Amino acid sequence: MAALAAGCGTQAHQQALTVAKRYAAAHGLSGRVSCSNGIGGLHPRSADFVCDVRRSVAVCDELRVRRLHGAWRVTVRRRGVDCVLPA
């Protein structure tokens, strides 16, 4: 059940993607947004998502999106990094 809660294409993944897009727009981060399927792959250690906001073909700003106590929170993890999401 935990794997489904953080899996790609699930409701949680779609919500994290929506939250990341809203955050990016509100903070002047332009570019395509994509999110991981939750940290830890098939056996997630947490319900966190890592999202990339593409600044160019190879450079992204990386966001951490997590749900705590029923509310989504977004923080910037790193800026100007390679556009590679964890599996």
What digits encode the pLDDT tens for the residues 25-76?
999 988 999 998 766 555 555 668 999 999 998 899 999 999 888 899 999 9
**For residues 72 and 20, what is the distance between their CA atoms, to the nearest angstrom?**
10
Domain-located, residue 87: no
The count of structural domains within the chain is: 1
Domain range spanning residue 19?
Answer: 2-82
Domain-located, residue 65: yes
Q: Beta strands of 1-87 (E only): which ranges?
A: 33-35, 49-54, 59-68, 71-82
Using the predicted structure, report yes or no on whether residue 11 has a pLDDT greater than 90: no
Does the pTM exceed 0.75? yes
